[in-house]
Structures are given as C-alpha cells and as structure tokens.
Structure 1
C-alpha cells in the first residue's frame, strides 16, 4: 500500500481517485472510469480528475427527451455547486471526527455518491435547505405515506476500506493524513469557484 501511495497522488496529497462512474443522461448509461486512471494521474492533474467525477453540464436547462444536454453528463452549476459545498462540509466533519483519534489509517477511502438526475438533485437540495437534512422527525413519520415519498439528500459520503486501521494509544493522531485531506478539501472547492 505504501508503494502505491508513493507512485500515485496519495502520498503527496492524501487523495487518490479510484474507479468511478458518472451517469450519462443522454445515452442512459453509466460511463465508467477505471481505477487505472486514478493510479496514472499526477498530483497536478488531480483537480482535473475531480472535475471528471463532478462534471458541470454544458446545458443549463433540465434535460428533456427533445433537448438533452450535449455532453450528457453532469449537473448544471446551479445544482452542482451547492451539492459540492454540502459535501465539503460533511468531509470536513469527517476530518474533524478523526483528527484527534490516535490511529493509523492505511488505505481508508471516502465513498461519494451523488444524484445525476437534475430533477431529483434539485429536490434533494430543497430537502437539505428546508429541513437541514435532519432525521429527527423521520422516526415519527415512518408510517406516513407522505414521509416515504419525501426526497432525501442529493449525495452521500461514507468512510470505507478501513480494514488496515489500527488504534495507537498515546502516539497521537495521524497528522499527515489529516493535514493532506484538509488541503484537498480546500483546493477542490477553490477549483470550482475559480473554474
């Protein structure tokens, strides 16, 4: 694992893209990017890779059968940017949660899933903005048909692949990993703000 980290963007940045797919609404298929892509790019190309995972649609109107976006992938900036901001906040919360834990995480990953359908993404954003993503009242509404039809958040982020994590009491937190992950949270966000 350490050899792979040295040969990819992992060691320098704390981030490596692995295989991912983006849904092409025009062709109605998932477009796969193999894990070899993430292993082949340099740190200077990481932001381009993130842009490939979070493409901005070339058309700003909602895709219709007669008017599909020309590229077929991506959300319009008006939807993608707020989703990315919420995602950054959640990743920062994950970072804060592990920042003080005395552990060494080798090979841990973040799994990020987001809604590619423009209408559902917009409904998910409204859910986050109106309800703040709170699950407090959902337990009481389990039997309510209306609650079952409510949209959920337009994305999810989870920590996965942490089988090689070990607790190291008294040795302090894994500082390098935390610092690198914070750098990438900030640099990924600024790429979309300036791009």
Structure 2
C-alpha cells in the first residue's frame, strides 16, 4: 500500500496536477475577492471563512479527473483490479494521494491567505482545524465521483456536476467552524458534524468507489 501511495504521488507531480495548480487557483480566488467586493476590512473579515473554504473546495475539484484517468488510459487500473490488494484499499490510497498533493498544501497556506482577507485573529486556528477535518471528505467524495466517470470522454464537467452537490454539507459545516471560531463563538456542534461527515465518507465511500470500478472494468 505504501508503494502504491508513493507511485500515485509521483504520477500526480509528473502529470502537472500536484500542489502547484491547486495553490495557484486558491491564491487567485482569494486575491480576486477584494477586487469584487471592495477593500473594506470589516466586510472581508466577515466573508473570509466562506471565501477560503470555497477556494479550497474548488481547488480540490481541479485535479479530481486525474485521480483514476491516468491509470485507466495506460491499463494500470486493470492490473490493479487483479492485484492481491483489495480494490477498496487501492481507492483509499488514491484518495490519500489526492489529499496529500492537493488539499494538504491548501491547509498549510490558508492562514497566509487569511491575512489577505483580514480574517480575525481567533479564526486562524479554527480555519486550519476545519480544513484538516473537512478536506479528507472532499478527496474521498471526489474519488467516488472519479470512479463513476472513469473512462468517459470529457467527463470532467460531469464529474463536477456529480461531486459539487455532495460537497455542500462539508462546505457548510467547515465554513461555519471557521466563522464561529473567528467570532469567538462555540464551535463544538459544527465541528462534530464536520468530523462525522469525514468519518462517514472514509468508512463508506471507498467500498462504493470499488463497487463502481468493478462495474466499469467489466
């Protein structure tokens, strides 16, 4: 499993879908917001948690079509499906590789971008915590969507349409954790809901993704 994870990480960087693309998109979204809504510090501080979470969500969405597409194109996916390693474990490793190359750099850079949006001082820690808890769900859900659309020509748009509605609960509770943390309010309820979504996604969706892949590979 570690060898598979290392292989997927190498493929992600070689294909140009590593952390650079996601970070660049995240930065562009955050920089453009003040031009659209104005430079008022109070307004930017109020919308900062939601903007940062939307930027992170869309940045994660950019590289989803490459999670399984490269293995499908060169035939590696057929070999992986017949390997001794369960297909559920293979899908989990691919989700983990996507999280490491795309979501983790966003978590690291998010406090710096929070400064650009005048995020209140109390919100930085909760922003990072919410992203750490929520982004694994984004990667796992995205891998499920990639499994549904693998093999389809120009399936990127369909993948986005399938995945975005599933991302909404994570976005709502993740942004709410950051917003409440920035305002000094209690964060326990949205934090537990966010953790529950991630835990449920990690527990259920690898099996669903593996089942879909088995159907597509027949």
Structure having the larger proportion of residues in helix:
2
Q: Choose 1 or 2 for highest CA Rg.
A: 1
TM-score class normalised by the smaller sequence: 0.3 to 0.5
More strand by share: 1
TM-score of the aligned structures, taking structure 1 as reference length: 0.32
